[in-house]
A and B are shown apart, each in its own frame.
Chain A
Amino acid sequence: MITLLSKIPQDLFGAAGYIFSKYGSLFFFGAKNTLYIALSGTIIGLIIGLGIGILRALPVYDYDSKLKHWIVKTVRIITSVYVEVFRGTPMMVQAVFIYNAFLPIFKNSKLLAGIVIVSINTGAYMAEIIRSGIQSLDKGQNEAARSIGMNNTQTMIFVILPQAIKNAFPAIGNEFVVNIKDTSVLNVIGVTELFFQSTTVAGIIYRFSDTFFVSALIYLFLTYSTTLILKYIEGKMQISGFDGPSSQTTPLIKGHYKAKEPKQ
């Protein structure tokens, strides 16, 4: 044991190199789980968020029935409780609570527990992202769709959501990046993600700063490459808006379509 420890270089980078080469597979295993949980949690969270976000942005009109008004109001209250609770409490607390509340289900699969926790937590944020994406659209889009006879569902699916999701894409992607980092709190219930694995390694060699320097670099690598990929996709999405004739003289306005202010 003494000989092992004495072989570790004293300087930070030297030590980091040594730790990575010796325990790389442990880090790799953790990083893989971290990515796996973050990605599935973000995707499932997005699906939850879409559902809840749409429910929260559901329009009611005066001519709709009393029952519909009542249902929409109730749905708004229930969904806002979900959103507020999960945005207003730390994910670490949510993790401990949910894991123990459903212990029989999760005892043999902490990975599943991790995914469920991250999904529910992300869903609350996504719901707000989607709702504000929907509500930031010019109301003329909704009116134009209704004026050609589309019902609420058609308006939502064909007109509102494609634009809302496109506008919200940066925020949605950001949730993924945040999740890569925040899965570290799942360490509290013993999910073998990157933070948990780092603790294990540090425990073996008694070198905390050096070990967590390595895990910081791995986290940074994961978040930074994710950010680059997301930026690339974002760029693609904007360009796809332009497929007009090349003889076009009017300038291409990037991003949102903006109607000119009506003249008085």
Chain B
Amino acid sequence: MIIEIEHLVKRFGQLEVLKDVSLSVNKGEVISIIGSSGSGKSTLLRCINLLESYQAGTIKFESKDILGSIKGINQYRAQVGMIFQSFNLFAHFSVLENCVIGQVKVLKKKRTDAEHLAMEILDKVGLASFANASVMTLSGGQKQRVAIARTLCMEPKVLLFDEPTSALDPEMVGEVLQVIKSLAKEHRTMMIVTHEMAFAKEVSDRVLFMDNGIILEEGTPNELFNHPKETRTKEFLQRFRNQ
């Protein structure tokens, strides 16, 4: 087990967004998280990456509490990559520099080594020829692939995707999903919040349905999509089919 979440509670003021969430993630597992808007999917990922604090419960990474030491938080974050809906590329850097900066400053790698790995990974996401381009000139799909490359350059042990294709024009969704699928094939540990049901079905080992701050139902893609048990899950999937 690489991540263990126990009785996680997250509140924004009075609003309880995560209500006693427990979850274990195995090494190499691909988990998709689905659920309606506001159910707490993003918040769960953001808590795992410590972009949000939480009020109760524990999150363990490789059996150690992630809040163990403040100093360790940054090292921990580097091992848990996050890919955002809105890319959040460093706007003032080139594509290559986006992929190099973290390696040099956080991992303290030599620039030449960092650039070498960055080019390798950019090649993998099909953007090696854009290494020197300013990120402002890229299309949405390209931006998200750079964002994935930037995260991969840190050689993280876990990848967290928060609706990686929701901000994209439909014709660009495919190229990004393709990259994520190739990562799934490498048996990387991933948690993917998505509204792309067909994709979730295809890549996931396990699918979680979140509703109102809890994980209401979980199972294999076949169990969850074809034989959902809970009424809320059925309703949610029904709504999706009708769209």
CB-based contact B70/A243 at 8 Å: no
Q: Among B71-79, B174-182, B211-219, which stretch is in contact with chain A? A: B71-79
With contact pairs A158-B105, A243-B134 given, residues A147 and B82 touching in the complex (Cβ less than 8 Å) = yes
CB-based contact B132/A243 at 8 Å: yes
**B residues in contact with A243, CB < 8 Å:** 94, 132-134
Of B37, B70, B101, the contact of A63 (CB 8 Å cutoff): B70
Q: Among A2-10, A91-99, A110-118, A135-143, which stretch is in contact with chain B? A: A135-143
Q: Among B17-25, B45-53, B220-228, B233-241, which stretch is in contact with chain A? A: B45-53
Q: How far is the CB of B10 from the nearest CB of chain A, in Å?
A: 11
Q: Among A47-55, A210-218, A248-256, which stretch is in contact with chain B? A: A248-256
With contact pairs A140-B88, A260-B86, A264-B37 given, residues A63 and B132 touching in the complex (Cβ less than 8 Å) = no
With contact pairs A244-B134, A245-B129, A252-B137 given, residues A147 and B74 touching in the complex (Cβ less than 8 Å) = no
Chain B residue, CB-CB nearest to A159: B90
Q: Which residues of A contact B (CB under 8 A)?
A: 61-65, 138, 140-141, 143-151, 154, 158-159, 162-163, 166, 241-245, 248, 250, 252-253, 256-257, 259-264
B: interface residue count bin: 35 or more
CB-based contact A148/B51 at 8 Å: no
Scoring A244, A248, A262 by chain B CB atoms within 10 A of each residue's CB, the highest score goes to: A244
Jot down 6 A-B pairs with beta carbons below 8 A, ordered by A: A63-B53, A140-B86, A144-B88, A146-B74, A148-B150, A250-B139
Q: Which residues of B contact A (CB under 8 A)?
A: 37, 49-51, 53, 67, 70, 73-82, 84-92, 94, 101-102, 105-107, 129-130, 132-140, 147, 150-151, 154, 163, 166-168
**B residues in contact with A261, CB < 8 Å:** 167
CB-based contact B85/A262 at 8 Å: yes
CB-based contact A259/B49 at 8 Å: no
CB-based contact A245/B133 at 8 Å: yes
**A residues in contact with B136, CB < 8 Å:** 241-242, 252-253, 257
Q: How far is the CB of B150 from the nearest CB of chain A, in Å?
A: 7
Of A144, A163, A242, A250, the contact of B92 (CB 8 Å cutoff): A163
